[in-house]
Each structure stands twice: as C-alpha cells, then as structure tokens.
Structure 1
Amino acid sequence: MSTEIPTVDLKEWQSADAARRDAIAAGVDPALRETGMFLLTGHDVPHAGGEDFRDAGLSFFRLPRETKLRYEIRGQYDNGWREVHRNVGIPDAALDGGDSSPDLHESFYVGPTHRTGDARLDGLYYPANRWPGELPRLREAADTYTAHMVRVAGEVNALLADLLGLPRDFFNSRARKATWTQNVSWYPAPAELGQVAAGRMRNAPHTDLGTFTLLNRQPGKGGLEVWNESEGWFPAGHPQDSGTLIVILGDLMELWTDGRWRALRHRVPAPGQEAADDEQVSLVFFFEADPQALIEPLAAPVGGGRGLEPAVAGEAILGKLGVPLTPA
C-alpha cells in the first residue's frame, strides 16, 4: 500500500543475516521511493532524556516574550528562539495553495559546537548557540539529547548506505563535521491561540533541506500528514509513544540518490476546536553533511536516473534559504 509507513528495528537490522536484511529492505525501499519516511525503533535513545528536553523546552516557551526576545534568531540559518513563524523549509505552493499565514508554533534551535578553523566557513555554517541564563537546565537537557541524536544519525547514515548497497561509511565519510540543527518546537493548544481559522497550519507543507530529519513527536490530534503522488495527503503512521523516531528524508538525500528516494513532503494541520486543548512539543533533529561535501547524484541503477546536477551541501542549503555565502 502506498500509505504504509514501514518500521525498522535498528538492533534487528544490525544483527540480521543477509536474507532478513533483504526482507526488511523490500519494505523500506519502496516507501522511500514513494513517500520518503520510515519509523525507527531499537535506537537506545533513553525515553527520559527526550522528556527532560521536552519539559525544559516548554519551560522556556512559558517565559515572558520580553525574556525570549533576548535569544531571538537573527537570520535564516541561526540558533536561538523563533517566534510563531513561517516554516523555514521550502513550502510547495502547488500543494499549500500559496497561503502565507504564519505557522502556529514556536521553536528553539541548537547547533553543533565543532568548528573547522576556517573563519568564513564557521561564520556561515556553525552559528553560535544562544543559551538562556534564566534556564540552565535547557542547555543540560539539549546537550544530553543531541548527543544521542548525533549517534543515531551516524547509524541511520550507515543503514541508508546498506539499503543502497554502498560502503557503510559512504554517507558518514562525508559528515565528519556535519552541520545539523536540533530544535524543540511548541505547538500551543488552539484554546491558547483564540479563534483558529479553518485550514491554518501548525507547520505548513514543505520538504526539509538536509539529508534526513529525526523527529520525536508526541501523540496528539494535530498530527503529521505526508504526501505522495498516488494518494495525495494522508496521515502518517504515527508512533503511539515518543520512543519511536520518525526518519524523514530531505532534499540532499533526494539529490544524492538522483531521485530514487524522495524528500518527504509533509505538514502539520492545526486541530479543530474538538481538540482545543491539544498541546504538543516536538523534538526535531535536522541532519545535513559536511558543508563542503560535494553531493554527486549516484549513477543508475543505484541512483534514480533523473539527471540532477551536483551541488555543494552547504551552498545548496543556504541557497534555498536565501542566505548569502559570506558571513554576517
């Protein structure tokens, strides 16, 4: 079925024999070709770590706006607080009707602390974190959780290489100093926002810019919807607990596979008044690649044969965000 979202148990994959891996791949590859996502279990991310980060993030969002403004993001590729805003991905006007209404969520963004030593590159691709002094536990919780996300990202990179029949370090060898962004996003309950017009979005239709995203979301009414050509929009196979991660392929992976796999088009509609108290806090880890990595589309039959043009990872991301290739 084109609406079926497969689940991969990472531990099972890592210990499986060739026959079992072939069987798992037979379920995952078609979903990545048609839609661009799968669910991931067996990753050993402690549940408590995610909940601590979620709770600390919510404590930050509850601070007065005047306090949060001290940590406001100052550009499209930056870290800190972003108020209710339009999604910073690339919305598909053909899918969302061109609606320019702000998305109904706030986010706090965190990035890596590693640097290249090149001042120009570091200024472009590794913006400093803005940690709120009023809430030191936010940094502690974020550091603990993102350490697990970085580890899982390496394991997912190896899994994706396995699925394509590539050397296991194919993607990881191009992600030694990868750019990434971890955010904690707050979707206020509709009751807190007042009257919410029909069709408003918590997160407007878009694709993510990087290689893939690891999404840790809470079950709720305003759930993730995804798109493919045969079905249009449909509800994703939501995990019933936040121990299951959602792996979302991004634009760089669609480019890398020359269109064999697609970047997931996805959105989060606002729930109606029947779910006026539905509040959610999501943890979203956007993983990219080394900013200077040349993304050369894989040749067929591994690649999809679309004839996409190579691109430098960091330049491709900043270009879509409209960020000039010189540091501020």
Structure 2
Amino acid sequence: MFSVPIVDISSYVDPNGSPADREQVARALDIACGGVGFIQVIGHGVDPAITEGLTTALDEFYDLPLDRKKRYARPGENRGYTPPKSESLSMSLGVPPANRMNDFYEAFTVGAEREWYQGVDLPESSYSDNTWPAAAPSFQPAVLAWFAAAREVSRVLLTAFTDALGLAPGYFEHMIDYSIDTLKMNNYTLPEGEIELAGELTGMGAHTDFGILTVLWADRVPGLQVLDHEGVWHDVQPADGALLVNLGDAMARWTNDRWRSTVHRVDPPVVDGRILRRRSAAFFFDGNFDAVIETLPGCARTDHPGYPPITVADNINAKLAGMKAGIAPEGAEREARRVLAAG
C-alpha cells in the first residue's frame, strides 16, 4: 500500500529536544527518504498566520488580469512571473511533452539575492534580484515571511538528515551558508477566456526537483501525483497542517541513490470542464552555487558507481535549460526512463 509517511520533527525544532526523540525522528526520515521519497512533516513550527498571509497574497496577485501579471515576467530567468504554457518541467529530465511548452500552471518565482550574503562574491545568474508586483501590495511582505519560515524548516530538516545519514554534526554547513534558495508559487486555474483549454492538459509535467530538498505548502485539492518504484502514479494530498517534503537531485547524488529524488507531477483537477482552484508554494533549498555534489561518506557501493561530481549551480542550470528552453540535460536518463515507462 502506497502512503506518504507523517513525521513529527518537533524534537528538532525545539533546541532542547531529547536525543532519544531525535534518534527516532532521524530513523523515520531515513526510512521515508529511502522508500517513498516524500514526507508529510508536522511539528514544523510554522505560524499558521504566516501561511494565511501567503495564501491571501497569492490570491491578490493571481486575481489580477493576465496582461497585468505579464508586466512582471522575466522570460528565460528564474525570477518573476511565468505565464501559462511557457514552461515544460518534463524537459528538465529530457522527456518531451505532447506539446512543446505544455504545462498549464502560472507561477511567480523569488529567490535569494546577492546582497543577502555580504562579503561573498556571487554570480548574478544564481542570485538574481527579485521582481515584486506593485499591483499586489501585500505580496512582498507575506512572501518574504513565508520564505523565511520555509528556509528555517529546511535547515532543521538538514540537521535531521545529517543525523539520519550518520554524518558528523554540521557536515553540510559549509555547503549552505550562501544557499541558492528559491520559492516558486504556482496557480492552476485562470478566469475563462484567458487561455485556450484545447488538447492534452498538463498541470505540471513529470519531474524531479533539482536541489537538496523541497518544502511544499499546497491546497488540500487533488492534483499532485508521485511515481513509485514500480512505475505507478499515486495521488498525494497534504494532511491538515502538514508540509510536504521531498528530496532533490543533489541529495540523491550525494547519497548515491540510497535516498532518491522522486518523480512527481501535477494533473489539475477538472470538474464539469472547469479546473478547480489549486495553489502551491514550493521552497527549493538548493545549497551554495559552488558546492560540489559527490558521493557522501558511507554511501559508496561497488555495485552502484557514484554520479560524476557536479556543482550545485551547474546541476540547476542544466535542469532549468530543459524546463524553460527545451534543452535536454545530460545525466537525467534514469529518471527519464521511469517517466517514459509509466506513460
């Protein structure tokens, strides 16, 4: 029976959490990351008011007319507004969709800027300045509050992951002190007449995430599907108050597939010819741009050669080129075969 395990991480959120409780959490995370690859996290400590502020801000922006939202687009960049059918996430694995740029969702992306990390020489390509929509006044403060909360959850989880992998405390600290953190906020429904709903409809194409881990808030509306190890798609909805967490390609590479970045997609729920409203906000905790992803201590196997070393930025940029420009990345053959076999 497929299920996404629920793990209470409150003992790691609490700086005085007991070692015994933390050991139990680390064991549960190891089992989840090596199996399903998705986790429902509770006890995460995020104030519900911050989540409510985020949803209000998303509604304020996405309720604007499409032509007004497009004023905040930055084509080809991983910032700002993305109109519907201008990306294809399956191409981040080199799997072409039925129509070249077919993903129906619209999105708004913000991320860490160079000025956030003083005293470090950082490339603008990975740490671009953000665009903020003046037409939605509540957007920037609410999104930044959620960004900070999701970032804290990510760092708490990485501490627990470090224990789960049997690594020395603080093992990853020098790889995340100027992390390329990105928040992509998605909307899966539009007013009638704004886009033609013809042919095969893909909410968000099958893909893996690119970095260390993803913290996802989503409406409790059907749509998210996860691909299991037998090539079968399963519907996943977050439990009340839970955050969904999944691993990215960086962690799969680091662990030499002891833990996997699980393939997932979104099929927008259609009822009586209309798409139900579905919103989500995915925080991508990616690591420093120059951190090298190579097999971690204890994860080498003679029967499973490790991935070739690659920097965090090079890995992300290759996947983004597939998603935004249709250029198939190298090294994604395993995930691509799984998606193609599932259909």
Q: Does 1:311 align with 2:310?
A: yes
The runs of at least 4 consecutive aligned structure 1 residues that moved more than 3 Å come to 20-28, 87-94, 96-101, 115-119, 189-199, 274-277, 299-306
CA, structure 1 residues 167+139, in 2 after alignment: closer, same or farther (shift >3 Å)?
same
Change (3 A) 1:185 1:50: same
1:225 to 1:277, Cα distance in 2 relative to 1, 3 A: closer
On the 8 A contact 1:81/1:107 being kept in 2, the answer is: yes
Matches of 2:162 and 2:23, distance apart in 1 = 14
**What does 1:146-157 align with in structure 2 at a 5 Å threshold?**
146-157=147-158
Q: Which amino acid aligns with 1:69?
A: K
AA matched with 2:110: V
CA contact (8 A) 1:185 1:282 kept: yes
Instruction: Answer yes or no: is 1:42 the counterpart of 2:40.
Output: no
> What 5-or-longer segments of structure 1 have no aligned partner?
324-328
Number of aligned residue pairs: 315
Distance in 2 (alpha carbons) for counterparts of 1:158 and 1:138: 30
Q: Give the Cα separation in 2 of the matches to 1:291 and 1:61.
A: 31
Deviations 1:93-130 (A, max 9, x none): 66x865535212111111123146566x3312111111
Query: Unaligned regions of 5+ residues in structure 2, if any?
Result: 323-343
Shift in alpha-carbon separation, 1:167–1:184, aligned structure 2, 3 A: same
Compare 294-303 and 192-201 and name the one that shifted more: 192-201
Matches within 5 A, 1:238-317: 238-241=237-240, 243-274=241-272, 276=274, 278-301=276-299, 305-317=304-316
Name the counterpart of 1:204: 205
C-alpha distance 87-322 of structure 1, shift in aligned 2 (>3 A): closer
Q: Structure 1 residues 160, 176: CA separation in 2 closer, same or farther (over 3 Å shift)?
A: same
Please say if residues 213 and 286 of structure 1, whose CA atoms lie closer than 8 Å, have aligned partners that are also in contact: yes
Asked if the contact 2:181–2:283 (Cα under 8 Å) also holds between the matched residues in 1, the reply is yes
SS in structure 1 of the partner of residue 282 of structure 2? strand
Determine if contact 1:109/1:181 at 8 Å carries over to the other structure: yes
- Per-residue Cα deviation, 1:198-239 (whole angstroms, up to 9, x for no partner): 752211100111111110001113x21101222521122x22
Q: In structure 1, what is the equivalent of residue 105 of structure 2?
A: 105
8 A Cα contact 2:88 2:100, kept in partner: no
3-state secondary structure, aligned to 1:226: strand
**Structure 1 residue matching 2:55: 3-state secondary structure:** helix
8 Å CA contact 1:255, 1:297 repeated in 2: yes
TM-score (norm 2): 0.82
> Secondary structure at the residue paired with 1:136?
coil
Shift of 1:50: 1.4
Match of 1:165 in 2: 166
Amino acid of the residue matched to residue 272 of structure 1?
V
Instruction: Indicate the larger mover: 247-256 or 130-139.
Output: 130-139
Map residues 102-181 of structure 1 onto 2, 5 A cutoff.
102-113=102-113, 114-115=116-117, 121-181=122-182
Shift of 1:189: 6.2
- With over 3 angstroms needed to count, the CA separation of the structure-2 counterparts of 1:127 and 1:158, relative to structure 1, is same
Q: Is the 8 A contact 2:252 2:259 kept in 1?
A: yes
Q: Residue 224 of structure 2 corresponds to which residue in structure 1?
A: 224
Say what the alpha-carbon RMSD is for the aligned residues.
2.8
SS in 1 for 2:279: strand
